[in-house]
Structure 1
Amino acid sequence: MTALAPAPAAVPDAGEHRRVQVISRKAPIAFAIVTGLFAILLLAVPREGDATFRFATVGDLFTIPNATVPGMATAWTAVVIMGLATVAAFVLVARRRRVPGWISLVFAFVFLVGFLAWAAAGSPSDIPAVRLIGGSVLLSVPIVFGALGGVIGERAGVVNIAIEGQLLAGAFTGAFVGSVTGSPWAGLVAAIVSGVLVALVLGVFAITYKVNQVIVGVVLNVLVIGMTSFLYSQVLVPNAERFNDTERFSRIAIPLLSKIPVIGPALFNQTIVVYVMYLTVPAVWFALMRTRWGLRVRAVGEHPSAADTVGIKVERTRYRALVIAGAIAGVGGAFYTVVSVSSFGKEMTAGAGFIALAAVIFGKWDPIRAALAALLFGFASNLEGALSIVGAPVPSQFMLMLPYVVTILAVAGLVGRSRAPAADGVPYIKE
């Protein structure tokens, strides 16, 4: 008898592509850490009494009644739900499946409700939902514009560390020109021009002279900080009424939409700059993802040599992208002095440009995701004010550093895997 030879193993077709899915344990680990820390907080600092959430404002189409809940019971219920979400996340990862985004959203929402219920327990003041949402939107406006500028620049292959300088220059020129002319519109235009000028300086050194883009961005930030600080002390302070007292844009209530409970007053009773932000986010996404210009920008950011071989002018495309990015960042800078306050303050951007860079990474170089990340940072900044209203036993210093902690976590990659454009930060040298 002859032994049967074993059947040859199936050889995969050379043209067959295998998709390898990388499963990260970062989400369940982060869930577990947050749940554990929240439970420890409830055990260490228990609070007695009820918490009240206020949803109604004057002029709503219909009134949503206040919600009064037992503070500690609600907080512990949130811990249980968060624990279940954590277990579900670990099970999914063990089965080599990704954690769906909706689980993360539910986890974050439940944690927020539980934390606010604990913070407001026994307080005579309630938690105004409209103020919480509206304040978050306002604080996120310059970060959103800065993040959109960062996305455009990095999609084209230029790391724009100078967003902080563009925001600060926009804030200064917006205040100065707006004060001299008496028009916030003139201040807004001047802020856009200053943002473009800073972007052009970055482009000259980073694109034309091939200088390290990170170093150029840092130097530009220091330069703008020094110039604005000098001009502030030498020009604006001695002549504050003439050069540092601009008119601000007034709020414009959109009929019907501004009457929607909770979200209406928060989103649709804002200034023109905020409405421009609503339009700019989808416009930038459409321009980058659905137009010929966007295709060229992404091409020079991913593979400039291949783009050059098909006739795309790499340096010209990068310059145009930087100019557009600088104009958008300039609008964010104008927000500080023609919307938020009516005067310029020394270093008033307070690192918002660097938070915008973190939003770019957090949003994985996508305009819409970056804008949502900026909203998250704005909410983290606004939370300190909401907790001070209800007298929460949380040190104000801790809440003030919360946006920067979130920024560090985003940059460290704890929010998920991100891949920058392949040629991001790499100067193009034509062979």
Structure 2
Amino acid sequence: MLDRASAPPSAPPAAWPLVALFTAGYVAPYLLPTVVGRLDAHLPLSPAQAGLIGSVLLLGSAAAGFTLASRISRHGPRPPARIGLLLAVVGYGTAAATSLLPLVIAGAVVGGFGSGTATAVAASGIAGQRDPHRTSALGLLSVSATAGALYLTLPRLGGGHGLPFAAIALVAAAAWPATARLGGPDAGAVTGLAAGRLPYPRAGVVLAGGLMLWSLAQNALWGVSGRIGTQQAGLSEVTLGIVFAAALGAGLLGVTAASALGARLGRAVPIGAGTALIACCVALSSSAHGLAGFAAGEILWNALYPVVLSYAIGLAAALDPRGRWAVLAGSASSLGVACGPVTGSVLAEAAGFSGMGLVLGGLLLAVAGPMTAVALHAGGRPLTAGSVRRRGGAPAAVLAAGAGAPSGAIPRVGAAELPVTEIPLRRRPPRRVLLLTTPSRRRERV
């Protein structure tokens, strides 16, 4: 067994610290319905104002990602990860400990910036993993399990707006030990790819823009799902928490299925077909007037949402192995999440819950096409075990990984395929072979 000191310096970081950071960064958007609902119920705020505070929280998260997209490789993941977790603990802790509205808003902004920093570091590290899709699926699995447990626990701990903020702060504090396993700055990234141009600029912009609208549509409904359940479907807070926990449990099953499925279907089918099915679930959930319809829509929707998101994260990671597109696409997604609560509240007040669902479902169908096109034409296929080829089949991977093969000649699993360049060959004139014969000896006459 190789000891830790003998590991190559270019080896990617372990997956579990990135999963912990991913969980600490994503748990705030997952708890958004409880955060917005309790702000509306326990502070002198209207539903639109409570949604605005949720949007401000997630705007801070998006701002962190856009700020740190090109700086993580230069400074290393450990310092920004620790700063982000510290900001999350201080910000959310302040929002939980006070009822003064200015301090609650300031704490939400600071905590959101800390969550976005942790998410950016996790996304950058996931892009450098040997199997980015598997690591992102593990991160979504962890955050879904954490949020599901919190949805079951928080209603039994009492009311007040501070409990969700305190829970997010505790999750961030629990992720602090994982930062010790993160590495320092990558010197090759400083002088190499990190300072160069972003690959696939058009595809990356289309993916980031589509993911922003994709997240906006879904989180517009997610931000008002609590109001739909209580006001339109007639559910109590305890029953609503059970429905949300079951929905996040279905998300666990969906992420597990996506991790087991891997790249067998590529990325285009899960992203395109999954987004179309999510649009139908959004329309069903927003038009429900009872427990059955609301629970069915929420559970099916949350089962599909992390599946599509895991493939979208893997697609962004495949566009740039340094993780810059993964960070930018994640920040664009956070921007859409930030605008979601306000959009949902405005649409619900203007067109009702059912009309809001139709608008959001149409928006999801509109962005499914461009995101699928990016997956088809620019996503490529990462090099995984058994696929180190273009058309050669599994034996090429067996030969590449065989004993005695030089390690430097084997592409790192998870790296993008190298482009094939045609080299023109100049035709040479045919060679002429001259056959030399020796004269036979003259026969002597006897």
TM norm structure 1: 0.30
The structure carrying a bigger helix percent of its residues is 2
Query: Larger C-alpha radius of gyration, 1 or 2?
Result: 2
- TM value normalised by structure 2: 0.29
